[in-house]
Amino acid sequence: MRYFPLTPDDRVEMLGALGLSSTEDLFADIPAAIRIRQPFSIPALFEPEVVERLESLAAKNLNTKSTSSFLGGGIYRHYVPAAIKHLLMRAEFYTAYTPYQAEVSQGTLQAVFEYQTMICLLTGMEVANASMYDGATAVAEASLMARSITGRKRVLVAGSLHPQYRATLRTYLHLQGLELVEVPWDERGALDLSRVCAEEAACLIVQSPNFFGLVEEMSAAGQWIHAAGGIFVHAFAEAASLGLLPPSASFDADIACGEGQSLGMPPSYGGPGLGIFAAKEKYVRRMPGRLIGEALDADGQRAFTMVLATREQHIRREKATSNICSNQALCALNALIYLSLLGEEGFRQVAEQCYHKAHYLAERLQAVAGLKPTFAAPFFNEVAFTIPGSPQALNAYLLKHGILGGIALDRDYPGLANSWLVAATEMNSKEQIDALVARVAQWRGGLA
C-alpha cells in the first residue's frame, strides 16, 4: 500500500524487537469471540481506478458551474478568486492540527486572529470566535449562550429564520428544557412582533436578510427584546449581504451569527461551510468555541496563542460553554483570504452586484403574466414569487432545459404552497437571467 512506509522486513524486525512472532500477537487482548480474522469485503482499487470511480460518480451530478443556477437558501455560488485554492492547498495549512503548540503554529494562529478581526469588521461586533460548524449550529449555540447569560428558558425565533436552522434549534433545545416560540411574519413578509410577548425571553433570533430574502427592520426588533431584558441575535445565511447592509452592531445585536460559505467557498452540496459567531465583548466568557489572542514571546516578539480556553471542553468538561472541539478552521482561512483579496471595494461590489442582479431578475419575472412577488418587503439577493402552478413542476421543466430553478417553499412552509424562491449572485449573467425568464414564460404559456 503506497501510504505505508513499513517494508515487510521492517515489520519482521520490529516484531522481533518486541519479542512477538506475528502481527496477530499485537491484538491478543481482543476477546476471541469478537476478533476479526478476515479483511472486510471492500475491494482495494489502484489509484487510477479510484479516480475513475470518483469521476464517474461526479459525472452523474449536474453541477452549478456547468449550468445556470438560481438556487440560494443559505448556500450561494459566488466567484472564488483563483489564488484562494493555491493558498488553501499549501500543506503547511491544511495538514496541520489545531494549534495546540503555539510556537510552531503561528501561521494558523495569526490567520485565525486576522479572521476574528475580519468578522468583527463585517458585523461591527467586538469579538468573534475561530468558527462554528455552520450557520445552523451557530444559531443553536447563540440560543444556549443567551440562556446562559439570562438564565431564561424561552427562545423567540423568527419563523422566517432558515427552516433547517430552526430544525437544528429544535433538536438542540429539546433536551435542555428550553421552549421555542416562533414569531410570525406579516403580509409583507417582515417580522411581526405584535403577536408575541417578550417577557422572560432569553433571546430573540432574527435572520436578516430572512429566508425569503427580505431585509428586516432590525433596530425596532432589537429595542423590543432589549426592553424585556433579552438577548438580541442577528442571524444571517448570506454573508455577502454584510457588504451592503448595516452591520449587526449598528442595531445593537448582542450576538451575530450565521453561515459564511459565501466568503469564497464553493456550494459543496451544503458543506463544509463556515459557522460565523461574534458577540459583544462583555459576553466573551459565555461564548462557545476557540479564541485566539495576541501575545508576546520570551523575546518580546509579537505572537499569537489560544486564549480563554477555560471555557472549552478539554478543560471545563461538563461545565464547558459548548462541546465543540474540531471546528471549520480551514474554511475560516478560506474566508479570510477571500476578504483579503476582495478588499473593501471588491466585497462591496459583490454585494451590490447581487442586489442589482436579483432586482433585475425580479423585475423581469414580474413581467411574466401570473407571477407576482409573494412579499412586498425590500429584499437583498433572493426573492419569492407566487406562481400559477406547482414550483416543483416549474423546476422540473427548467431542469429539462439545463436550469436549476428555485426553491419550492411548500415543504417547509405549507402555507406558501405556490411560492418559489429564486436567488441571484454576481455569477448569474444577464443572458442567464433572460434565459430563465424566457423559460418561465414558456412554461406559463404551456399552462394556459
Task: Tell me which residues in 139-198 interact with another protein (CB under 8 A).
Answer: 144, 162, 164-165, 167-168, 170-172, 174-177
Helix/strand/coil for 183: strand
Nearer Cβ to another protein, position 39 or 446? 39
Min dist CB 197 to another protein, Å, is 25
Min dist CB 17 to another protein, Å, is 6
212, 277, 380, 443: which one contacts another protein (CB under 8 A)?
A: 380
60, 227, 414, 446: which one contacts another protein (CB under 8 A)?
A: 60
Min dist CB 186 to another protein, Å, is 17
Which grid coordinates belong to 133? 460548524
153, 226, 359, 401: which one contacts another protein (CB under 8 A)?
A: 359
CA 422, 162, 266 angle in degrees (round to 5)? 65
Nearer Cβ to another protein, position 131 or 419? 131
Q: Which of residues 77-136 bind another protein (CB under 8 A)?
A: 77, 79, 81, 83, 85-87, 89-108, 110-114, 116-118, 120-122, 126-128, 130-131, 133-136
Backbone angles phi, psi at 299, to 5 degrees: -95, 5
| Interface stretch with another protein, choices 14-22, 151-159, 224-232, 382-390 (CB under 8 A) | 14-22
Q: Looking at this protein, which amino acid is placed at residue 246?
A: P
Q: Does 34 bind another protein (CB under 8 A)?
A: yes
| Interface stretch with another protein, choices 3-11, 195-203, 227-235, 437-445 (CB under 8 A) | 3-11
Helix/strand/coil for 143: helix
CA distance 330 to 337: 11
Q: Are 278 and 86 in contact (CB under 8 A)?
A: no
| Interface stretch with another protein, choices 189-197, 221-229, 368-376, 422-430 (CB under 8 A) | 422-430
What does DSSP assign to residue 132?
B
| Interface stretch with another protein, choices 153-161, 190-198, 224-232, 320-328 (CB under 8 A) | 320-328
CA distance 72 to 420: 11
Helix/strand/coil for 26: helix
Hey, how many other C-beta atoms are within 10 angstroms of the C-beta on 123? 26
CA distance 279 to 284: 7
Per-position x/- string for 270-299, each x denoting binding to another protein as judged by CB under 8 A, each - no binding? xxxx-------x--xx----xxxxxxxxxx
Question: What is the bridge-based pairing of β-strands 231-236 and 201-207?
Answer: parallel
Q: What does R_g of the chain's alpha carbons equal in angstroms?
A: 25
Min dist CB 435 to another protein, Å, is 13
